Structure 1
Amino acid sequence: MKICGFQKTTLLDYPGHVAATIFLGLCNFRCPFCHNAELLTEDAEEQCTMDEVLDVLKRRASLLEGVCITGGEPTLSPDLEILIRRIRELGLLVKLDTNGYRPDVVKRLCSEGLLDYIAMDIKSSPENYGMVAGVPNINTDTISESISFVRSCGVPYEFRTTAVKGLHTEEDFEAIGRWLQGAERYFIQNYVESDRVLFPGFSGFRREELLAFADIVRPYVGEVCLRGVDY
C-alpha cells in the first residue's frame, strides 16, 4: 500500500462528519481532468506509512468521527482491508471513494461490514465512458455491476459526476439518469479549473447549465444536488 497523502481534518469529504482523508496511490483510469494526477502511477510518491497514519488517527480519535479513503483508486491497494479494519478498531467510521471498476472488492468489504459510506464516481454515460475515463476499451458492465450492488447493499451511498465542459452534454446526463434509476442520491460537482490536472485546459459549466443537468436526472433519482455551487 502506498499512502500518497493524508489530510488530518476535513469537513467536506465525508458528508455530515468531521473526518480525516487518506489518499492512496495508483489508479486504473486516466480521466483527463483528474485533480490527483500525481497519484495515478507507480511513480506516485509515498508520503507516510500505514502505521504513521494510524498513530495520528489514534491521537485524534476523540476529535474525529470518520475517515475517507480516496485516491487514486483505493480498491487497487492489496492492503485496503487491513487498513480499514485498523481504522475501525479506533472506533471511526469509514467512507470509501471508488470508481466502481472493481466491484468484487467493494462487495467483499461490504459483506464484512467494513464500510459505512460509499461514494462512487459516474464518469459519464455508458456510450462515452471510455473517453471520459481515459480508458478506450473500458468494460462498462463492471460499472453497471457496481451501480446495481451499491444501490441495493444497504450501506449509505452517493453517486457523483464531475461535470466538465467539452466532455459532458445533456444527452449524457439523460443516459446517466436512466443508468442510475432508483438510486437514492446523486451529486453533480462542477469541474474547477487547474493546471495540475492530467490534461489542463478544461473548464466547468455555468450554474444555469448545471441546474439544467440536475433537472434532467431528477426524474430518475430520489435526490439530485449540485456540489460546490451556490443555489
Structure 2
Amino acid sequence: MNSPNTAHVFGNTVSRIRDRPISVPILSRRPLLPSVSGIWDALTGGNDARQEALAAVRRGMMLFREGDVSGSVAEFDKAIELDPRQKAYLWQRGLSLYYLDRFEEGAEQFRLDVAQNPNDTEESIWCFLCEAQLYGVDEARRRFLEVGRDPRPVMREAYNMFKDGGDPEKLVAAFSSSQESEYFYASLYAGLYYESQSKTDAAKVHLLAASQSPYGQRSGDYMASLAKVHCLCRNWSSI
C-alpha cells in the first residue's frame, strides 16, 4: 500500500511505518461485503467521509511525530467519527493513548486491533504495557494476547520476553551486532519492558539508545519517531 503522503519529524522524511507503508487502511484488512459497504457509504457520505477520515489519520500521525500527543488523539478520534469502521485498526491511536496515561482506552484499542489482525506481535506487547500499568505485571501477563509467529527474529524474542518474562539485557546483546533495525527494536522493547517493571533508570538507558541509534535517527519508521516521543514525554535528553 503505497501512500503519497510524507511528513517530516526531527529532520527525517517519513516513508514507512514499522516496516509497513504509511497508508492506513480505512476499511478492514478483511474487507466488508460489498453490499454492507455500499449501504454504509450511502448512509455516511461514502468516499468523501473515507477521504476525510484518511486525512485525519495522517494529521494525527504527523502530530504524534512532532510530539503533540494530545493533538494526535483528537485527529484519530475525528477519523473514527467520520468512519467508525476504522476504530478497530487504529493502532496509532493506542500508542498515543499510552503516552497520555489513558491505559484502559489504550488496552481496548490494541485488543480491538489484535481481534482483527491476530498476527500483530507489537500490538500484543503494547496491550500488555497498558495493562501492566492498570493491573500490575503478573495480571497483565495472565491476560496476555497470544498472536501468530512474527517473521522478525527480534520481535519473536521480544514477544517471548513480555509473554513469559526474561532478561532485556540478553535481548539487546543478542542483536547488538545485527542489522540497525534489529538493534533499534531490541533496545526499544528492552526499555519498554523495564518501564513496565517500574525500572526507570534502565528504561531510560535503552530508550535513549534506541532513539539515538542510526536507525532511530535516520529511519522513517513510525516506531523510530515513537522512541523520540517517549524520551520527550519523559523529559529524557541524555543518559
TM-score normalised per structure 2: 0.30
Q: Greater share of helix residues, 1 or 2?
A: 2
TM-score normalised per structure 1: 0.30
